[in-house]
Amino acid sequence: MNKLIVITGGTKGIGRALVLRFAENGFNIITCARNEADLEVLKEEVEKAYNSKVYVKAADLSIREDVTDFADFVLKTTSQVDVLVNNTGVFLPGSIQDEPEGNLEMMMNTNLFSAYHLTRALLPTILPHKKGHIFSMSSIAGITAYASGGSYSITKYAMQGFTKCLREELKEEGVKVTAVLPGATFTASWEGVDLPHERFMKAEDVAESVWSAYSLSDRTVVEEIVLRPQLGDI
């Protein structure tokens, strides 16, 4: 019987790379994104290429009701989640002193609150089995402040706090918790930037690091994965 992974934001960038990497290893997938057409294309592609079942639901996780709806969808689909990857996120550049009003609230809802509420909702499918793995997709911006990071960096620092607390709560339950902090990765967030692709990390490399951390024995957990482009931060 295939194991099951829940990945939010699974149609693009790191999320898509994660879907493909875990499907390659026989996992069934539950994922969400805002665009239903993109989800259906992903579902067809993965199920055609791999021995995996893909369950998809359109959801905007910046909206609290959509987080609840997606959680309900997962709970109706399965009674056991083996891996949860809180991957959904949004980046809006700006400085605290002059960024548009509402940037902080919008990114908090997307980058932190969605992970918090979804994790709480899905823990009953993880805890009874005394095993499992939860990944928080954070960012270098969660450990290194920079002038144009503004509210984005605030939300990623908060994501680090959430993940560290979760690790302490769940380690005696047999559930692993890992923070993933990628530097500049070539995804849609960087479209239009006048830099060569080679200056960025590949989304597939981030997915590979997640798979490697998951693959360790039950006796070992990777608490943080920090990844940067070979030439350093951008």
| pLDDT tens, position by position, 124-166 | 999 999 999 999 999 999 999 888 888 999 999 999 999 999 9
Q: What is the pTM of this model?
A: 0.94
Say what the pLDDT of residue 198 is.
79
| Positive/negative CA dihedral, 7, 46, 55, 37 | positive
Q: Which tokens in the block code for residue 48?
A: 């055609």
Say what the pLDDT of residue 232 is.
86
pLDDT tier for residue 191 given thresholds of 50, 70 and 90: low
> Is 73's pLDDT higher than 90?
yes
Whether 170 is in a domain gets the answer yes
Contact by Cβ (8 Å): 56, 40? yes
More confident residue, 110 or 188: 110
CATH number reported for the structural domain that contains residue 98 in this entry: 3.40.50.720
Q: Which tokens in the block code for residue 161?
A: 């706090």
Whether 10 is in a domain gets the answer yes
Whether 103 is in a domain gets the answer yes
Q: Which residue segment(s) compose the domain that 216 sits in?
A: 4-227
More confident residue, 146 or 63: 63
Terminal CA-to-CA distance of the chain, rounded, Å?
Answer: 43
Whether 143 is in a domain gets the answer yes
Whether 234 is in a domain gets the answer no
Whether 199 is in a domain gets the answer yes
Number of domains in the chain: 1
Whether 232 is in a domain gets the answer no
Whether 233 is in a domain gets the answer no
Per-residue pLDDT of 9-35, as tens digits, reads 999 999 999 999 999 999 999 999 999
